[in-house]
Amino acid sequence: MEASVVEVEAPHPIWKGIMRIRFWAPCLVCAVLAFSGHPPVSAQARHAELKQTEFGTGVKTGFGLVQYHDTCVTFQVFFISGNFFNGLREYETPEGTEFRNEKATYRNFPDQLVVDVEGFAVKCTPRAGEITPPDYAAGLMEGASFEVSWKRGDEIRPVVLLSTQERHQSPGIRWYYFLTIPSNNVPLTDSLVIDVSLRHGMSHTKLTANLKSRLD
């Protein structure tokens, strides 16, 4: 059975389980609101949310929520390319949108981009006092597959993945998928559409990630 993106009207039973994870609460509020309809998810963030990884500084560019039976999976997307995004800011000019740091002005992504898709799985409606197993939803999250495309307006350009790495520390309910993609001459204003397939396509969703309004 293929899971579909669910319309959520507050209050929804999903909050009973997910809101226990306090540090995820703000992200999950946004994710549920973003999934109130069927189009792919794209976030609107007011300030850059950064994290440090082995591949460099990552900037949060998208998020989403998908439900499979009684499992709710929250996704976050980060763009990473060394220190490229560290200190980068977005500006609107008469010539269009451009991106600058203290050293230079940029219009395109670096030649390659690492896309960090971070997944976090919990029960949507846990029973009172129920403890989530240490490796909950491992069968759903393991072996996820991805298809990606660059998007500019109505133009969709499929991209061949250069590499995919899955990271998971057991026991745990966090999963990390690092996708390396070509991004040479791709404008920084383009969006990346990520087609996520879990459990061999039985659960499926799309995420949209971009830098718009994320580097203020």
What is the SS3 assignment for 188?
A: coil
Q: Is residue 216 a part of any domain in this protein?
A: no
Q: Is residue 89 a part of any domain in this protein?
A: yes
Whether the pLDDT of residue 38 is over 60: the answer is no
Whether the pLDDT of residue 76 is over 90: the answer is yes
Whether the pLDDT of residue 205 is over 50: the answer is yes
Residue 206's identity, in one-letter code, is: K
Q: Is residue 175 a part of any domain in this protein?
A: yes
Q: Is residue 9 a part of any domain in this protein?
A: no
Question: How confident is the model over 64-75, as pLDDT tens digits?
Answer: 999 999 999 999
Q: Is residue 194 a part of any domain in this protein?
A: yes
The CA distance from 91 to 149, in Å, is: 25
Q: Is residue 120 a part of any domain in this protein?
A: yes
Q: Is residue 61 a part of any domain in this protein?
A: yes
Structural domain total, the chain: 1
Kindly state the tokens that stand for 35: 């999934």
Q: Could you tell me what percent of the chain has a pLDDT over 90?
A: 59
pLDDT (average), residues 183-212: 93
Structural domain that includes position 146: 15-209
Q: Is residue 5 a part of any domain in this protein?
A: no
Q: Which helix (H) or strand (E) holds 166?
A: strand 163-167
Q: What is the pLDDT of residue 131?
A: 83
Residue 47: pLDDT band by 50, 70, 90 thresholds? low
E-assigned strand segments in 48-131: 50-53, 56-68, 71-80, 89-93, 96-100, 105-106, 112-123
Q: What is the pLDDT of residue 216?
A: 62
What is the SS3 assignment for 164?
A: strand
